[in-house]
């Protein structure tokens, strides 16, 4: 039989640094399957438990926890070792009081932070696509692979606060001058700043924003900035 969806393993030397795995242990490590997030921007569930949270010590223990239905991602039980966990995903573990959200920090592309239980049903997602349907409805696509049909007026680049797992839009944060933005990738990943200017894209250059980060201003592509609120983040990010 042919294999489905590519290889299930990856050479350790090729794994993203934020996974936190040892480079000189075994030759291969489990990898992510195609899913909600890009391979380079996500971490497989088994590696998340074993190497990032270190709540299990081996792949065997990770399998036992995952196959028993002890891991919830965005409110849904996931029983795959290879499920991709990525930006803003909320992870719950059965029998443990801690609830985690994956966010970028100044040290890592993705790092789990502990959040309050009142926030486990909330998530912010970036609008990556929209298609107009009949009767004024929009099909809105988000950065985590979700899509929803709604009459909510949004633009690509805006952020939506949604309720999970139902995928109900609670609030829209527009990508506009004066709002707070979170840098999701690059050298300034994890930093929060005020959006000063928005430059429309050209034939050569993508859409860009100028953001104030502390005492400096930087110009970055609009697709790596995520609006998170007017004056302060609308959800816990630290």
Q: Please give the Cα distance from 177 to 174 (Å, whole number).
A: 9
Q: Please give the Cα distance from 125 to 228 (Å, whole number).
A: 10
- Does one domain contain both 93 and 18? yes
Mean per-residue pLDDT for 159-186? 94
- Does one domain contain both 103 and 13? yes
- Strand, coil or helix: 210: strand
Predicted confidence (pLDDT) at residue 177 exceeds the cutoff of 60: yes
Q: Which of 82-86, 199-203, 221-225 has the weakest average pLDDT?
A: 199-203
Interval 79-92: pLDDT, tens: 999 999 999 999 99
Residue at 53 is within a domain: yes
Averaged pLDDT of the chain: 91
For residue 136, give the DSSP letter. G
CB 199 within 8 A of CB 209: yes
For residue 87, give the nearest of 33, 32, 31, 41 by alpha carbon.
41
Residue ranges of alpha helices (H) inside the chain are: 45-47, 59-67
Split into its structural domains, the chain has a count of 3
Here the CATH number for the domain that contains residue 29 is: 3.10.290.10
The whole-number pLDDT of residue 1 equals 47
User: Domain residues for 99?
Assistant: 9-115
| Residue that finishes a domain, picked among 97, 115, 133 | 115
Predicted confidence (pLDDT) at residue 113 exceeds the cutoff of 60: yes
Residue at 236 is within a domain: no
CB 195 within 8 A of CB 144: no
């Amino acid at each position: 039989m042919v294999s489905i969806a590519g290889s299930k393993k990856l050479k350790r030397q090729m794994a993203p640094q934020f996974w936190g795995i040892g480079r000189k242990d075994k030759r291969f490590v489990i990898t992510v399957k195609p899913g909600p997030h890009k391979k380079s921007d996500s971490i497989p569930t088994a590696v998340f438990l074993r190497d990032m949270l270190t709540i299990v010590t081996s792949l065997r223990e990770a399998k036992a926890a995952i196959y028993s239905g002890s891991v919830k991602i965005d409110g849904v039980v996931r029983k795959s070792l290879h499920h991709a966990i990525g930006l803003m995903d909320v992870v719950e573990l059965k029998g443990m009081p801690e609830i985690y959200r994956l966010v970028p920090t100044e040290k890592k592309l993705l790092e789990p932070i502990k959040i309050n239980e009142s926030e486990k049903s909330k998530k912010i997602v970036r609008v990556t696509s929209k298609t107009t349907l009949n009767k004024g409805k929009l099909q809105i696509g988000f950065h985590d692979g979700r899509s929803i049909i709604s009459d909510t007026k949004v633009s690509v680049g805006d952020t939506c606060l949604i309720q999970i797992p139902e995928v109900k839009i609670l609030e829209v944060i527009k990508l506009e001058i004066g709002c707070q933005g979170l840098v999701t990738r690059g050298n300034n990943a994890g930093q929060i700043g005020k959006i000063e200017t928005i430059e429309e894209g050209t034939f050569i250059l993508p859409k860009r924003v100028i953001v104030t980060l502390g005492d400096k201003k930087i110009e970055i592509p609009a697709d790596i900035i995520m609006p998170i609120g007017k004056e302060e983040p609308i959800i816990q990010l630290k």
